[in-house]
Amino acid sequence: MKKVIALFVLIVLGALVLAACGGTATEAPATEAPMAEKPTAEAPVAEEPTAEAPAEMGLPDLGGRAITIAVENAYLPFNYIDPATGEPSGWDYDVWNEICALINCTPTYVEAAWEGMIQAVADGQFDAAADGITITSDRAEIVDFSTGYVAIEQRLLVRKDETRIKSIDDIVNNADLKLGTQTGTTNYATAATYLPEDRIQAFEQFPFAVQALIAGDIDAVIIDEVAGQGYLGENADALTLVGPSMSSDFLGFIYPKGSDLVEPVDAAIKELAQNGFLETVNAKYFGPDFSVTYDDLFPPEPLGTADHPIKVLFVPSVDANIIVSGGQVMADALTEATGLVFEVTVPTSYAATIEEMCASPADTMAFIPGLGYAIASQLCGVDVEFKAIRYGYPVYWAEYIVARDSAFQTLADLEGATWGYGDQGSTSGYMVPTVELDAAGVTPGEQVQTGGHNQTVTAVYNGEVDFGTVFYSVPLTPEGAPVFSWADYQAGIVTDDMYEVPAEVIPNCAPDAEGKKLLCDGWRVLDARANIRTEAPDVVQKVRILAVSEAIPNDTLAFGPEFPADIRAQIAEALIAFSQTDAWGQSIGSADFYNWSGIETATDAEYDLVRAMVIATGYTIEP
């Protein structure tokens, strides 16, 4: 990085002075510094130096000379704008004020962007720069450095739940992992020694890189350890530093080549080390009592704005294109109702959806199955708001499907058979069947993860697996009523033959003229088979239901554990209103989407059954 830090301890090396070229310095007035954005007039001012002080200590006397010092005001704990007072503060200010008190100079701090700061000093636009600048041989070719005053280490900052990264080698060996850092820094240079540039994502400032890390857009950030500790702050539950140091260097102040400030300032630094000032200032800014974080300096944009949209996550259980288009219909309706901005996202798996909610606890909402919710609530406190209603049912079922001409008649017949399922994180596709097959004493043979419900039906249809497990929905009569109601089911009057459409209409099953429904002489099929009606119009003729599982609590709409309660209430109200519009059927209510006919308020306790299932199977989320 421009900076690189690891040991919290500041090591002042009185004897270490990088070679400073002699010669006459050219003093550039601060008013002519084109890259300077504005003088920090409110910076803390050193006490009025006394003419006798330098001479008494044997230090150089600069005669009250004004010195322009470039600072970024964005690098904890060295220089920043104190969020409590609005005034510049930090280690650099305290140390330079004391230096000038010792050698009789007047510091003028000028806020400048890091990008181009070193070159600006080299060009004489500033007399010095204090911004946690790593001493390197390349930089020493164009600027002079002070004595190194801080020992620094470069480390990896990762999400706290990250299990794939223990050191930089793990990133090098996994092309799927993304590394971020700040452009133009020694951190970037370090990253480039390990990875090609196309695997490094550079950001203008570290706060942007850290935000991307928390959001899951990248997997690690190379950062100075002290800076990394500053980012932990309020993110201690989300971030952690891992691995050994990748580079150990020193920080120093910089000056134009040949500056006559090098020796006087080095002498002052040595005096500050000897008189105990550095020990005191180090304890102030690097000790446990320093509590300013980057979250304080760069508070996030208000939730629900273009720069900080609310992320609406959908598990990829059906075609992603359908989810994205239908999800956008919902997002637009919510925006119209609330004025908030939403971003539709389809993570790559059930596990990735849960990971995203836990990594972004204050700005995510997700449509996740009961299993995913049960796990997410245990992992990080994700909280349910609604459960799905499908044709009047607050529950759903798994179904076991086989080729219609197969010999399978009962679950017991599936012993040793090839099993196709969508995802191990799917409640109906995997978890419930796992428990039920085990309870029945059935051990399947080869297991094939197909990627989704549609793919599982297709695999059975094509004879690629012997049986598959997918979601089940109650078929509708020609009059549009469910074959049986939730009350019928609870009363125990549902028989096995009621799960399927009548046998006499099966030969006539086919998509309707618009291709939107799978009808059998007016009877409508709603289970997972209907999802491939276009590619396989004869799917009901080729694939039958072998058995249906016990009832499972319906899918959820849940919010991240830190989602603001007031915004959550707005969204809940808007969702209820949206569920009563025709547009609902073009979104999550579509048979090709999640087929939610409505929503109903849910409680966390309703999913205790699913949690018990997770415990019984020992299931864990795999990345």
- Residue 225 and residue 76: Cα distance in Å, rounded? 11
- Per-residue pLDDT tens for 340-383? 999 999 998 888 899 899 989 999 999 998 888 998 998 899 99
On the question of a common fold for 161-241 and 395-553, the answer reads yes
Quote the distance between the C-alpha of residue 612 and its chain's center: 29
Looking at domain 310-392+554-617, its CATH superfamily turns out to be Periplasmic binding protein-like II (3.40.190.10)
pLDDT class of 41 with cuts at 50, 70, 90: very low
Question: What global pTM score does this model have?
Answer: 0.51
The alpha-carbon radius of gyration of the chain (Å, integer) is: 32
What CATH number should be reported for the domain whose range is 161-241? Answer: 3.40.190.10
> Encoding tokens for residue 307?
């720069």
- Per-residue pLDDT tens for 400-442? 999 999 999 999 999 999 999 998 878 789 888 998 999 899 9
Q: What is the mean pLDDT of residues 229-257?
A: 83
Q: What is the pLDDT of residue 211?
A: 82
pLDDT class of 622 with cuts at 50, 70, 90: low
Q: Per-residue DSSP letters for 356-392?
A: HHHHSTTTEEEEE-HHHHHHHHHHH--EEEEEEEBTT
Instruction: Name residue 10's amino acid.
Output: L
Segments making up each domain of the chain, as ranges: 30-151+248-297, 161-241, 310-392+554-617, 395-553
Q: What is the mean pLDDT of residues 556-573?
A: 97
Helices (H) and strands (E) in the chain, counts: 20, 29
Instruction: Name residue 523's amino acid.
Output: W
Q: What is the mean pLDDT of residues 170-191?
A: 91
Fold of 30-151+248-297: D-Maltodextrin-Binding Protein; domain 2 (3.40.190)
- Flag whether pLDDT at 496 surpasses 60: yes
- Residue 112 and residue 608: Cα distance in Å, rounded? 56
**In CATH, 395-553 is 3.20.20.80:** no
Q: What is the pLDDT of residue 153?
A: 84
**Average pLDDT for the chain:** 87
